[in-house]
Amino acid sequence: MNRTVRIRRFGTPDVLELYEEDVPVLQPGMARVRHTAIGLNYLDIYHREGHYPLPLPTGLGVAGAGVVEAVGDDVNAVTAGDRVAYAGVSPGSYADTRLVSADRLVPVPDGIDEAVAAATLQQGITACFLLKDVFAVLPGQFVLIHAAAGGVGTIAGQWAKKLGARVIGTVGSEAKAAHAHSHGCDEVIVYSRENVADRVRSITGGAGVAVVYDSVGKATLEASLDSLALRGTLVSFGSASGDPPPLDVNALGAKGSLYLTRPRFVHYTRSRENLLRYAEAYFSAIQNGLRVLIGQSFRLEDVADAHRLMESRQTMGSSVIRI
Ligand SMILES: NC(=O)c1ccc[n+]([C@@H]2O[C@H](COP(=O)([O-])OP(=O)(O)OC[C@H]3O[C@@H](n4cnc5c(N)ncnc54)[C@H](OP(=O)(O)O)[C@@H]3O)[C@@H](O)[C@H]2O)c1
């Protein structure tokens, strides 16, 4: 049997229900992956709440890793027995086994733990395209990364530092500040008690930062705009505190001829070539010293506890379900 978590309505973590079902039947172009680990991403909360409405009932979870059990017709990308991971696919990973479009699977290199691949692939690829392609960070530039002790933040802080940036991170607590300091951030602002834009101006000698990577949204939008240097770029890529409020386009001019972009994982990884390029860059960064933290591990039957912890801002680094 195949344990699968589904929701029949949107709502609190209580809507997550565990079912026992038959193993899914193979289809052309698909591979059946037996999970050893399942990634938990903040996106799963938006899906559970109906923030990005999905047709119901639906499975949840967009990332995982394990072994290819079998492949359908017309599959060339992988074969049975391959160690694989995936991220950013249609929800349904909270299960022992699932079907994944074979062209969305990436090989897990020797030496990379499947739990690390499952927990962090979505976050690592995101950090990669944010820092290299959405706004290509240059050595010496000041960058501001919100939620710097989270899954994406832990990876992006170190990666930005490695690219030579001067990294300022924001976090919600003192414990998270210590974590962010030891994972790439030169300066850390505890935004629950400090004024972000004032601190950024003071750290940068009044100039502001070249780019803000903002995944917090509603609570930070204004501070992000006010932290930018002339012609700086706001990369708004998430809504952990709620959607950013509507923005007056003229405000971008008034605040310094600013740029604004709202990138999405699906668009940056649409071609298999890009997906593989980002995944390889991420795994290679780990092999070259980038430290990932799986701060929280859960059993599949306890996934509601995982959601409660994530949305109450008590997690650090990445979270995983181990099968
Ligand atoms: N656009 C894309 O393609 C893309 C891809 C991947 C991820 N993302 C986004 O990146 C963000 C980070 O994802 P993640 O999986 O790594 O999650 P995460 O950063 O580990 O968790 C979210 C963090 O946001 C912060 N936060 C601030 N205000 C919050 C609030 N009101 N409620 C809850 N959390 C709040 C918390 O850190 P503090 O306690 O330090 O404030 C919390 O730990 C998410 O917004 C996600 O949607 C976007």
Closest CA to 155 of 35, 318, 3: 318
Confidence of residue 4 (pLDDT cuts 50, 70, 90): very high
Question: Each residue of 277-303: pLDDT tens digit?
Answer: 999 999 999 999 999 999 999 999 999
pLDDT at position 81:
98
Centre of ligand 1 to C-alpha 99, Å, is 27
The response to whether residue 207 sits with its C-beta less than 6 Å from ligand 1 reads no
Closest CA to 318 of 120, 157, 158: 120
pLDDT at position 304:
98
How far the first Cα of the chain sits from its last, in Å, is: 14
C-alpha R_g of the chain: 20
Closest CA to 170 of 242, 119, 118, 241: 241
Centre of ligand 1 to C-alpha 237, Å, is 9
Centre of ligand 1 to C-alpha 255, Å, is 26
Q: 103 near 49, Cβ under 8 Å?
A: no
Counting from 1 in the atom list of ligand 1, the atom nearest the Cα of 238 is: 45
pTM of the model: 0.98
- Two tokens at 323? 């099968």
Question: Each residue of 170-210: pLDDT tens digit?
Answer: 999 999 999 999 999 999 999 999 999 999 999 999 999 99
Distance CA 152, CA 52 (A): 20
pLDDT at position 296:
98
Question: Each residue of 140-167: pLDDT tens digit?
Answer: 999 999 999 999 999 999 999 999 999 9
Q: Which of 260, 313, 315 to mutate to test the pocket of ligand 1 (most atoms within 8 A of CB)?
A: 313
CA atoms within 13 A on the CB side of 178: 2
Q: Which of 40, 42, 190, 265 to mutate to test the pocket of ligand 1 (most atoms within 8 A of CB)?
A: 42
Confidence of residue 218 (pLDDT cuts 50, 70, 90): very high
Q: What 3-state DSSP class applies to 155?
A: helix
The response to whether residue 122 sits with its C-beta less than 6 Å from ligand 1 reads yes
Counting from 1 in the atom list of ligand 1, the atom nearest the Cα of 149 is: 40
Counting from 1 in the atom list of ligand 1, the atom nearest the Cα of 241 is: 31
The response to whether residue 263 sits with its C-beta less than 6 Å from ligand 1 reads yes
Q: 187 near 203, Cβ under 8 Å?
A: yes
% of the chain beyond a pLDDT of 70: 100
Centre of ligand 1 to C-alpha 161, Å, is 20
The protein residue with its alpha carbon nearest to ligand 1, atom 41, reads 172
Question: Each residue of 51-106: pLDDT tens digit?
Answer: 999 999 999 999 999 999 999 999 999 999 999 999 999 999 999 999 999 999 99
Crossing angle (nearest 10°) for helices 114-129 and 151-162? 60
The continuous run of DSSP H or E covering 176 comes out as: helix 174-181
